[in-house]
Amino acid sequence: MTLDRLRPAVSGALAPSVGLAKRLGMTPNAVSVVAFAMAILGGGLFAAAPRREMPLLYLAGAVAVALNGWLDVVDGELARDLGTGGPAGDLLDHVLDRYADIVVVVGLAAGIERYGPGLAADRLALVIVGGAAAAFVTRSFGPLGLVGWLLVFFAVVGHFTALQRFYYAYRAL
């Protein structure tokens, strides 16, 4: 996919994380599950931030989502390193990626009680930036606010991403 072209540039940066996963005896599927757990944590922190009036929970959520994204890259690199990659692991990775996106976005939506756009959405990189920005940005962005507009954006582009991932994962089977 698109990010595959960047693999040579980041493989050196991944080496310490891949090495740690190997020393811990983790399989690529186990790394995928831990990545998904980070997404759940991020979504929960995003949901709690406005209710608890603790904007730094947005930053903590953004860090958890960033770890989810990092581990999502590590699992594939670990599979290649161990020579254990295959269609079943790739499918698990893609399914958990989609659910991770959903959990994170629903967490954002739950935090501001705007479920419509949140339930129709996904994507990771902007969640990291948006979550971190929400911790520090205090000005209003209209009736939806910063997080609300982020959810609207996800609703527009999220479906394309999900269909593209499904297509490539299905084709790999």
Size (the chain), residues: 173
Looking up tokens 């991932």, which residue turns up? 165
- The pLDDT tens digits of the residues spanning 128-170 come to 777 888 887 777 777 778 888 888 877 776 666 677 777 777 7
- The pLDDT tens digits of the residues spanning 25-77 come to 999 999 999 999 999 999 999 999 988 888 899 999 999 999 999 999 999 99
Confidence of residue 5 (pLDDT cuts 50, 70, 90): low
Q: What total of structural domains would you count in the chain?
A: 1
Looking up tokens 């698109």, which residue turns up? 2
C-alpha distances out from residue 100 to 22, 24, 124, Å: 23, 23, 9
Say what the pLDDT of residue 1 is: 45
Say what the pLDDT of residue 4 is: 62
| Average of per-residue pLDDT across 116-121 | 60
| Average of per-residue pLDDT across 106-115 | 84
CATH of the domain at 22: 1.20.120.1760
> How would DSSP label each residue in 5-53?
GGHHHHHHHHHHHHHHHHHTT--HHHHHHHHHHHHHHHHHHHHHHHHTT
Phi-psi region of 76 (alpha: psi -120 to 50; beta: other; left: phi over 0): alpha
